[in-house]
Structure 1
Amino acid sequence: MAPLSAWPWENLGIFKYMLLGPLVGKVVYSRLQSDFVDLASDWCFQLLLVTIVRFHIYTWYTNFCNMLFLTRTRRIISKGVDFDQIDREWDWDNFIILQALIATLCVYMFPVANLPVWETKGLLAIVVIHVLVSEPLYYWVHRFFLHGNYLFTPYHSFHHSSTVPQPVTAGSTTFLEALLVTTVIGLPILGCSLSGYGSRSVIYGYVLVFDFLRCFGYSNVEIMPHWIYESFPLLKFILYTPTYYSLHHSEMKTNYCLFMPLYDAMWNTLDANSWVLHKKINLDAGGKSTRVPDFVFLAHVVDITASLHAPFVTRSFASMPYSARLFLLPEWPGAILAMLVMWAKSKTFLSSFYNLRGKLHQTWIVPRFGFQAGFIHIHNKGINKHIEEAILRADRLGVKVISLAALNKNEALNGGGTLFVKKHPNLKVRVVHGNTLTAAVILNEIHEHVKEVFLTGATSKLGRAIALYLCRRGVRVLMLTLSTDRFQNIQEEAPADCQKNLVQVTKYQAAKNCKTWVVGKWITPTQQRWAPPGTHFHQFVVPPIFAFRRDCTYGDLAAMKLPDDVEGLGSCEYTMGRGIVHACHAGGVVHSLEGWSHHEVGALDVDRIDIVWKAALKHGFQPVSSVPN
């Protein structure tokens, strides 16, 4: 590796934050030594506070950029942020740690304790030094050093490998680049302090404004209205825009400035399309030219902590399969409040998107608590209202297929989507529950040598289809249900010579010798005890059952891996791994790719299970199986 390209603490992982330990220790020690500590003179406390604030500026500006329901019409580069970019930018905050360490060192080397809280002349001094020193210095170093023929590849190409700029992209640099930026931000602070006009407010304010302007430029969301630059033409040379920076990030041979396009104009490196593109994005922000998605997956929140597993809350957390984490606990009050506000005010909001085979696929989230459906019936009317509004909105936009997530198609809630199709017979958008592919995934997990299956949730849409398919295959199906009428109705659907393979059972004890369980209704650890050792639990129940038995194996929820040519995917779907989606989601995508014109709602057509399965494989979907051989 090139000298100074790697970070000194690159191998520390999460323990890199221990580097700030001495700063934290000094603050704690000061508190323990004295009952009263003057915060205005405690530099260590102030540096630690500013460091935390800086981290949150970049984090929350990035979260704002990922709030697609607010920013989708103002995005400059329309592609999504994929997993590769998120991984490259995982340690984006290294530069904040570096600058905190350098600032701590400077505090001990120079007599700064007597700086006043405010000094008006200091504000003028730091602005002048920034404009006359930092801006041209950054321009020349950026243009001739970082973009030079010999130094671009080892030092700056890593930064430009992020195809969709976001605020945290500003920190995705090599160690040498971070040192150069630290010099650029440090010179005005040093000059202001040495001139005798330094003050705490001016120094801290300069650092935070510097950070905000970097986030602003890297955001990929154009929030500056074009009329401001038309009314005040000189502003074009004083303050750049996200559009201006994006052209440098994509084309690299123009727009080298830090914040002021003046220096690009002076040295003839200003991209002529900068303000034309800026105006076009603003004019298009009304949404008239926004690309309509071909497919929408209407998801829902399962519980409060899972609501935090979204790209617009924590991008890095959303890029990993969901699991309950301790750091989520302090976020509960805010999450509950946000959920209540969304439930009261929102319809649906765009969470994420990706491209597949040239088609745009989006995920919309219904603002509701997942467990309400089927459990708290008084909420059914309100939930259905939100789902119906989402379907009608998709229909107005021209969406071709909308697929309903697990609890949005609950049988007791809306009959697997039948309610909406009957109420609106002229829908152009195809409503799909995707359960045909879910059934196909589960059925293809069951080995051919299996001759007996215990099935819970046996009279549900999926349970019925699985039972009928297996009985045709000669498998004896123990259907757990207390309703004799519903069982007999399903049994009568089976071919006459296969009806004997369907057996009604009313207790879990009936499965004490059956090692293949298909769980479609949540079962408790006590109920799991009836399974013999070596049992494998297939499941299509949300949420998944607890893996209670150590002498048994547990399958994941029915899922499929998206084709390899998917683009822009950067978030995981609930507990699924990267690039893996629930089978009902995949079923909707297949419906869209195949161009099928029918609604897939209500009862499953058993004869279409193999058709949908083959279509999924044809389009590059891959089964995800955790079934032991």
Structure 2
Amino acid sequence: MASQPGILTEWPWQRLGSYKHLVMVPFAVHSVYSIVAKEEEERDYTRILILPFLLTRMLHDQLWISLSRYRTARGANRIVDKSIEFDQVDRESNWDDQVMLSGIILYIGASTIEKAKNLPWWRMDGFIITILLHVSVVEFIYYWLHRALHHHFLYSRYHSHHHSSIVTEPITSVIHPFAEHLAYFFLFAIPLLTTVLTKTASVTSFVFYVTFIDFMNNLGHCNFELIPKWLFSAFPPLKYIIYTPSFHSLHHTQFRTNYALFMPFYDYIYGTMDKSSDTLYETSIKRPEESPDVVHLTHLTTPESIYHLRLGFARFASKPYTYEWYLWLMWPVTLWSVMITWIYGRTFTVERNVLQNLKLQTWAIPKYSIQYFLQWQRESINNMIEDAILEAERKGAKVLSLGLLNQEDELNKNGELYIKRYPQLKVKVVDGSSLAVAVVLHSIPVGTTQVLLRGNPSKVAYSLAFALCQRGIKVATLYENEYNKLKLAIGAEAATNIVLAKSYVHDIKTWLVGDGLNKEEHMKASKGTLFIPFTQFLPQKIRGDCFYHNTPAMVTPKNLENVDSCENWLPRRVMSAWRIAGILHALEGWNVHECGNTMFSIEKIWEASLRHGFHPVVVASSTQKS
């Protein structure tokens, strides 16, 4: 919101929230009805193309968002190093409003202007008129309109909203108050209306012009330089005709320079070109890919999780992952993405963060959770993990942490497989088990004397049982085979506190649960039971009268930068213990692996996490279902 919002700041459908898209339904239905109900000679096929065109515009914008986030995470050609945070994502989440506005105006124009009906597919004269009017009229008026918007009166009421984003993303280009968008639309409508009124308009010229504006807007705000230097060398006048991302980036950092729409020509004429434009371009175009200090290796979970990735839908990524029923409408894209992951055999960079002097990156294996349980997929998954470790080694990373199922015992023995293959590895492989155990231990309510341990056996489960028994807390199990395995795993001395719970299972109010907790076992818990997961995946919340804690995680310190997405189902600025463990190993300079059967000191890593600003998730994050 602008610092002093003026009239027509709010979009007309803003109060509708996620239902705002219903505004488009009457227009779309009417366009279909006009085709079905009218005779052949009365039908206007131009109008039926508006909705598909709007959808392609949204796809175009989304592709720019994904590309920009991928490129800026890797670092190559990045322009501005400052952070993007959740407040910017929230502020820019309504980027599709301008697509809706253009659609409504196009529908109204197609219905009321007789010359706009049944446009031909192509006319050369209209195409040329559109280009000439843009270069001469639109660019000139926009330049002076833009300068006017930087006057303190209009800036404080309208344009400051756009400039709230110093570090731009492609879609920052269309984040303006409603009144400002109206002004832009009428400006860009000059070539379109002119060709309509002169009967030179065509479907192609309309689509080309709007797509051109979208393309150039996204390009100028993408925060990485992508226009190659050889273009300017081959044709030097090009620098006056087309702007670059670095050229417009200076407008967002300096504010009073580089006002041009897409053609720097007017900034040169009127003396408002930033003198550092060429220098910033040279610096950005030569900037190499960033080498991380810490890599966290994760993977896709469900097919729909592609939309939750930071490279997916920014609004989804900024909230904890939950399944949304309307995503089934995206099934063609979802199916296509699944097929791509089966073909694509390399990790990809998802996110970058900075903590103190450490450069952090998150890489993802293009595999879904279900594929980790397929025996014939395990070799290819292990090869991808191995390649990621070796790539991190080549890039000089200090630590690589294994997230989600990348450390499964049945897959690679908690990462031990790679250490045995490459005993001279400099990058330290961390499975994070010690911090996960520490977080669970400190999540158990004070005064607890007994807990029920339930779930598939794992390194974390055995370590938890051992730590609890040493503290004098009784650890109960439901089944005799689990009871025997635990006693054997933790040793005779500590095993005296391992008990078999049958008749008194309802008396135990704290359950430590891993993968494999079924509904029948779930229903054995008494009212008010607290479920604390020790696995990386949330248990299903089927009891409305019980409490559920998050998976092992901690709130990140305030100086962790560039946080604009949630890690899977965790709340904002909360990070899994397995991921934090890798960061702590790098911060503390612990030059050891933590994988296989090796466990790091639980107390030592817990104290280190608190010392570096990580702290436990507040009890309020454990919710009771209504």
1:250 matched to which residue of 2?
Answer: 253
1:33 matched to which residue of 2?
Answer: 37
1:3 matched to which residue of 2?
Answer: 7
Scaled by the length of structure 1, what TM-score is found? 0.92
| In structure 2, distance between residues paired with 1:79 and 1:104 | 41
2:241 matched to which residue of 1?
Answer: 238
1:312 to partner: Cα distance: 1.7
| In structure 1, distance between residues paired with 2:121 and 2:334 | 37
1:16 to 17, 20, 25: 20
Counterpart secondary structure, 2:488: helix
1:573 to partner: Cα distance: 1.0
Aligned length: 616
Contact 1:436 1:612 survives alignment (8 Å): yes
Counterpart secondary structure, 1:67: helix
| In structure 1, distance between residues paired with 2:622 and 2:364 | 31
2:386 matched to which residue of 1?
Answer: 388
Alpha-carbon deviations, 1:523-580, whole Å to 9, x = none?
1101222223332221123432222223322222111111122221111111111111
1:463 matched to which residue of 2?
Answer: 461
1:163 to 155, 161, 166: 166
The 10-residue stretch of structure 1 (246-255 or 19-28) with the greater mean CA deviation from structure 2: 19-28
When the two chains are superposed, the root-mean-square deviation of aligned CA atoms in Å is 2.5
Alpha-carbon deviations, 1:335-376, whole Å to 9, x = none?
444344344443211011222223221110112232343x33
Which amino acid is 1:129 matched to? L
1:224 to 224, 227, 234: 227
1:347 aligns with 2:346: yes
2:473 matched to which residue of 1?
Answer: 475
1:566 aligns with 2:560: yes
CA, structure 1 residues 537+484, in 2 after alignment: closer, same or farther (shift >3 Å)? closer
| In structure 2, distance between residues paired with 1:448 and 1:329 | 44
Alpha-carbon deviations, 1:436-492, whole Å to 9, x = none?
111111111112321111112475211111111111211111245626774343342
2:530 matched to which residue of 1?
Answer: 536
CA, structure 1 residues 210+337, in 2 after alignment: closer, same or farther (shift >3 Å)? closer
Contact 1:441 1:623 survives alignment (8 Å): yes
Which amino acid is 1:613 matched to? W
1:60 aligns with 2:63: yes
2:498 matched to which residue of 1?
Answer: 502
Sequence identity percentage: 34
Alpha-carbon deviations, 1:146-192, whole Å to 9, x = none?
11133222211110111222221111111222122112201111223
1:621 matched to which residue of 2?
Answer: 614
Which amino acid is 1:413 matched to? L
| In structure 2, distance between residues paired with 1:541 and 1:185 | 54
Which amino acid is 2:283 matched to? K
1:264 matched to which residue of 2?
Answer: 267
1:202 matched to which residue of 2?
Answer: 205
Unaligned ranges ≥5, structure 1:
none
CA, structure 1 residues 109+335, in 2 after alignment: closer, same or farther (shift >3 Å)? closer
1:403 to partner: Cα distance: 0.6
1:140 aligns with 2:139: no
1:215 aligns with 2:209: no
Alpha-carbon deviations, 1:400-429, whole Å to 9, x = none?
111101311111222211222222222111
1:399 to partner: Cα distance: 0.7
Scaled by the length of structure 2, what TM-score is found? 0.92
CA, structure 1 residues 347+21, in 2 after alignment: closer, same or farther (shift >3 Å)? closer
1:376 to 370, 374, 382: 374
The 10-residue stretch of structure 1 (268-277 or 66-75) with the greater mean CA deviation from structure 2: 66-75
1:512 to partner: Cα distance: 4.1
1:555 matched to which residue of 2?
Answer: 549
| In structure 2, distance between residues paired with 1:348 and 1:37 | 55
Contact 1:457 1:481 survives alignment (8 Å): no
Contact 1:26 1:44 survives alignment (8 Å): no
Which amino acid is 2:264 matched to? P
1:397 to partner: Cα distance: 0.5
Which amino acid is 2:56 matched to? V
| In structure 2, distance between residues paired with 1:213 and 1:177 | 18
**1:481-492 → structure 2 map (5 Å cutoff):** 482=481, 486-492=485-491
1:602 aligns with 2:596: yes
| In structure 1, distance between residues paired with 2:405 and 2:113 | 62
2:133 matched to which residue of 1?
Answer: 129
Contact 1:23 1:44 survives alignment (8 Å): no
Counterpart secondary structure, 2:299: strand
Contact 2:74 2:349 survives alignment (8 Å): no
| In structure 2, distance between residues paired with 1:201 and 1:50 | 11
1:111 aligns with 2:114: yes
CA, structure 1 residues 72+481, in 2 after alignment: closer, same or farther (shift >3 Å)? farther
Counterpart secondary structure, 2:275: coil
Which amino acid is 1:131 matched to? V
Contact 1:409 1:415 survives alignment (8 Å): yes
Contact 1:461 1:604 survives alignment (8 Å): no
Which amino acid is 1:195 matched to? T
Contact 1:453 1:518 survives alignment (8 Å): yes
| In structure 1, distance between residues paired with 2:72 and 2:598 | 33
Contact 1:69 1:349 survives alignment (8 Å): no
| In structure 1, distance between residues paired with 2:47 and 2:336 | 34
The 10-residue stretch of structure 1 (174-183 or 538-547) with the greater mean CA deviation from structure 2: 538-547
CA, structure 1 residues 330+465, in 2 after alignment: closer, same or farther (shift >3 Å)? same
1:390 to partner: Cα distance: 0.8
CA, structure 1 residues 98+585, in 2 after alignment: closer, same or farther (shift >3 Å)? same
| In structure 1, distance between residues paired with 2:112 and 2:484 | 85
CA, structure 1 residues 367+16, in 2 after alignment: closer, same or farther (shift >3 Å)? closer
Contact 2:349 2:364 survives alignment (8 Å): yes
Counterpart secondary structure, 1:477: strand
CA, structure 1 residues 471+59, in 2 after alignment: closer, same or farther (shift >3 Å)? same
Contact 2:431 2:578 survives alignment (8 Å): yes
CA, structure 1 residues 488+27, in 2 after alignment: closer, same or farther (shift >3 Å)? same
2:577 matched to which residue of 1?
Answer: 583
Contact 2:320 2:570 survives alignment (8 Å): yes
Alpha-carbon deviations, 1:89-134, whole Å to 9, x = none?
1112222222333333333443222644322111121111111111
| In structure 2, distance between residues paired with 1:102 and 1:57 | 20
Which amino acid is 1:594 matched to? E
Which amino acid is 1:325 matched to? E
Which amino acid is 1:514 matched to? I
Unaligned ranges ≥5, structure 2:
none
1:150 aligns with 2:153: yes
| In structure 2, distance between residues paired with 1:37 and 1:424 | 74
1:614 to partner: Cα distance: 1.6
| In structure 2, distance between residues paired with 1:171 and 1:183 | 15
| In structure 2, distance between residues paired with 1:265 and 1:347 | 45
| In structure 2, distance between residues paired with 1:462 and 1:544 | 15
Which amino acid is 1:357 matched to? Q
| In structure 1, distance between residues paired with 2:197 and 2:437 | 73
Contact 2:509 2:528 survives alignment (8 Å): yes
Counterpart secondary structure, 2:507: coil
| In structure 1, distance between residues paired with 2:42 and 2:236 | 47
